[in-house]
Amino acid sequence: MLKGKCAVITGSTRGIGKSIAIKYASLGCNIVINYRSEKDEVNARELSDEIGKLGVNTLIVKANIADFEEAKNLVEKAKEKFGKVDILVNNAGITKDNLILRMNESDFDSVINVNLKGSFNCLKAVTPIMLKQKHGKIINMASVVGVIGNPGQVNYCASKAGVIGMTKSLAKELGGKNINVNAIAPGFIDTDMTRVLSEEQKKNILSQVPLKRLGLASDIANVAAFLASEDSDYITGQVIHVDGGMAM
């Protein structure tokens, strides 16, 4: 379904990003693996080996997407190696939760800088390439809480609501150029990001989920595969909720 394509997936050494990388590779897509911290270097190499066994090519690029030049370099390296970038998944994201009275300025700035500005940095780098090649699929990772809000996450919810606004605006800008721009809004997915929640918090979340379970990274990867494929060619500017029915 994605045979011979090239996908750049930010923050792809663990969690949802890793699951998307494996799913895309299983469909024949070449993968640009991105990581930020030294500690993820081993994970990146292990993932590259795992994906290589599926018969596709990989490129590992260390880049902090919050840094404009590093994000640009990530996308340029992908173009250099594969001659094109068919798919960008803006997946990398962080949380720094606190109630407003305890949330300091740097907690707000760093979450906005990675989740919103980091996505912009990658979009800015990939758009000229996609315009030139006259096709592209962009998938931005939003969140259910960017739509419905969540106490203790003013910074995170603002960043994800921003991602949704950016998705819709860019979909309108690029719609006539054969470039689809969509967002996925995951609910609570079982990854490192949510493993820090207490049992009580998880219980409270589950009471709001009609499907009565946390999501799996693969639940998101399946939808990301659909949005990267030609099966979704007539879909743009949408926010696809993959949240067990939390928001409807």
- Tell me which residues touch ligand NAP (CB under 6 A): 10-11, 13-17, 34-37, 40, 64-66, 91-94, 114, 118, 141, 143, 186, 188-189, 191-194
Of the two residues 130 and 185, which places its CB atom closer to ligand NAP in the complex? 185
Per the structure block, which two tokens stand in for 145?
């809480």
Give the nearest distance from C-beta 247 to ligand NAP in angstroms: 11
Distance between CA atoms of residues 155 and 181, nearest Å: 23
Burial code (b: 16+ CB inside 10 Å, e: under 16) for 146-169 equals: bbeeeebbbbbbbbbbbbbebbbe
* Nearest residue (CB) to ligand NAP, 2 versus 44: 44
Minimum distance from residue 246 beta carbon to ligand NAP (Å): 10
Question: From CA 171, how far away is CA 176, in angstroms rounded?
Answer: 9
Instruction: Report how far residue 176's alpha carbon sits from residue 157's, in angstroms, rounded to the nearest whole number.
Output: 30
Angle made by CA atoms 150, 220, 87, in degrees to the nearest 5? 115
Between CA 242 and CA 204, with CA 158 as vertex, the angle to 5 degrees is 55
- Dist CA 91 CA 71 (whole Å): 13
Of these residues, 24, 35, 156, 234, which one is catalytic? 156
What is the closest distance, in whole angstroms, from the C-beta atom of residue 78 to ligand NAP in the complex? 14
Start-to-end C-alpha separation, the chain: 30
Which ranges constitute the DSSP H helices of the chain? 15-26, 41-52, 68-82, 105-111, 118-133, 145-148, 154-174, 192-195, 199-206, 217-228
Q: Rounded to the nearest whole angstrom, what is the least distance from the CB of residue 45 to ligand NAP in the complex?
A: 14
Taking the least distance from each CB to ligand NAP, the nearer of 11 and 136 is 11
Residue 38 falls in which region: left (phi positive, over 0), alpha (psi -120 to 50) or beta: alpha
Given the complex with ligand NAP, which of 10 and 155 has the nearer CB atom? 10
Q: Smallest distance, Å, CB 121 to ligand NAP?
A: 10
Is 35 a known active-site residue?
Answer: no
Q: Which is nearer to ligand NAP, 218 or 233 (CB)?
A: 218
Catalytic residues: 156
